[in-house]
Structure 1
């Protein structure tokens, strides 16, 4: 278990995940049953999910039906404004500029040059995950891209220490979309949650009303299966 300390989150380290859902109450039932999460209300109308008393994710109501139902990963930064400027200079876009999230920190929404969406988190009282790398918590995020060379240049420039520094232990990989998905799938991040048995967890997803996108397959970082919840948000189940 990784305890929550700001020093763990070098700029560019995945530090949080959140789901934008049409029905947060249905999301609480689905993920509560699947992962054993419990929930409490947070600022800005979100719901924080905890595992064994430690924060692991959040759920939020999707206010515009035209927006996708998705899981989004946040990368840590000590200065969201400065990182937004670097992202823009490197060919990405700032979708929503930095804003305070209660007194917990500052958040921003951005894209890379291919349009893959991710968030930035400048933590104040809450640096990030209270638990990760154990069943029912964040384990990995994979960027599926059409151009891995461009992606590696972009993220390598932004997050060099987290990805390649002497103490790097990244939870973030890049791969061509066509490795797993149809070639027409847009570039995107896929959040992975840890499980000791992807096949059994996949069956539980189906029992709860979700569906299987990609059955278990081997990766360089473990055995993964891609599923959606009962509202259409995609995520992966991972045994490392």
Structure 2
């Protein structure tokens, strides 16, 4: 179990959120699946909803902004930044692009949206009053984030240059994969893909992967990769009842 009340180290996945067509529907789906309660931030923040587990923030979702209705809904990973403006500058120097320039979110923090050289989008979060995730690594919370990338070698160079990651490369003849390590421990992953778009993926912890997959289907979601065992826990690739992809993996807590 991990509780957090101070800013996350730079480069650590520190937040995930979802802009979706029907936030009320998402509220019901994830509430039933993970036991989340939500706190609506009000009209000033576009009715952005903070998801809470045991009173601590674990994720967020809200309505799509005007003009973005046709953009596919995805769980977006945010990486912690001590200074969003400086990190954004390093991203452009390393070959990435800025989708939304740095800006303040009230007194909560400062954020930007960026994309790596192969097109994988992610956010940056500089904590002020809101440190981001307060509860992780137990059922119902975030446990892992990974970037699946069409240009594995360039992605390794990009993320290392921007965030100072050390790479724990565990690639073999069948797949390309490296852990993104800070201070000697993995905080996320980077994998190579030959098909599809480069993207960041989100893994939520569950107590029982098979039971959770059955619950997802019962709630109107779908399964794209059936439960399978891995050295890190039993996992599955699924989608919610609005077609938004995510992963579940068994953890204790």
Retained in 2: the 8 A contact 1:193–1:236?
yes
What does 1:88-127 correspond to in 2, within 5 Å?
A: 88-127=92-131
- The 1:112–1:218 alpha-carbon spacing in structure 2 relative to 1, beyond 3 Å, is farther
Number of equivalences: 233
Q: Which runs of 5+ in 1 are unaligned?
A: none
**Distance verdict in 2 for CA 1:32–1:164, change over 3 Å:** closer
Pick from 206, 227, 234: which aligns with 1:216? 227
Secondary structure of the corresponding residue to residue 186 of structure 2: coil
Residue of structure 2 aligned with 1:62, choices 43, 53, 64: 64
Note if contact 1:17-1:57 (Cα within 8 Å) is conserved in structure 2.
yes
CA deviation after TM superposition for structure 1 residue 190, in Å? 0.8
| Structure-2 residue corresponding to 1:53 | 55
1:35 aligned residue:
34
Displacement, 1:213? 1.1
Do structure 1's residue 171 and structure 2's residue 181 form an aligned pair?
Answer: no
Q: Distance in 2 between matches of 1:39 and 1:195?
A: 19
* Corresponding residue of 1:193: 204
TM-superposed CA distance for 1:145, in Å, is 1.1
SS in 2 for 1:235: strand
Residue aligning to 2:133: 129
- Secondary structure of the 1:139 match is strand
1:70-85 equivalent positions in 2, closer than 5 A: 70-85=74-89
**What corresponds to 1:6 in structure 2?**
6
Does the 8 A contact of 2:204 with 2:247 survive in 1?
A: yes
Q: Does 1:138 align with 2:142?
A: yes
Cα distance change on mapping 1:220 and 1:92 into 2, 3 Å: farther
* Map 1:148-163 → 2, pairs under 5 A: 148-160=152-164, 163=180
Instruction: State the TM-score, normalized to the length of structure 1.
Output: 0.92
Gaps of 5+ in 2: 167-179
Contact 1:10 1:161 in 2 (8 A): no
SS of residue in 2 equivalent to 1:114: coil
Residue in 2 that maps onto 1:26? 25
- RMSD between superposed Cα atoms in Å: 1.6
Residues 56 and 134, structure 2, Cα contact 8 Å, conserved in 1: yes
TM-score normalised to the size of structure 2?
A: 0.87
Q: CA 1:174–1:157 in structure 2 vs 1: closer, same or farther (change >3 Å)?
A: same
Hey, which of these two has a bigger chunk of helix by percent? 1
Whole-Å separation in 1 of the counterparts to 2:234 and 2:78: 23
User: Residue in 2 aligned with 1:234?
Assistant: 245
User: 1: CA distance between counterparts of 2:50 and 2:226?
Assistant: 29
Q: Please report how far the alpha carbon of residue 177 of structure 1 lies from its aligned counterpart in structure 2 after TM superposition.
A: 2.5
Shift of 1:68: 1.2
| CA distance in 2: counterparts of 1:60 and 1:219, whole angstroms | 33
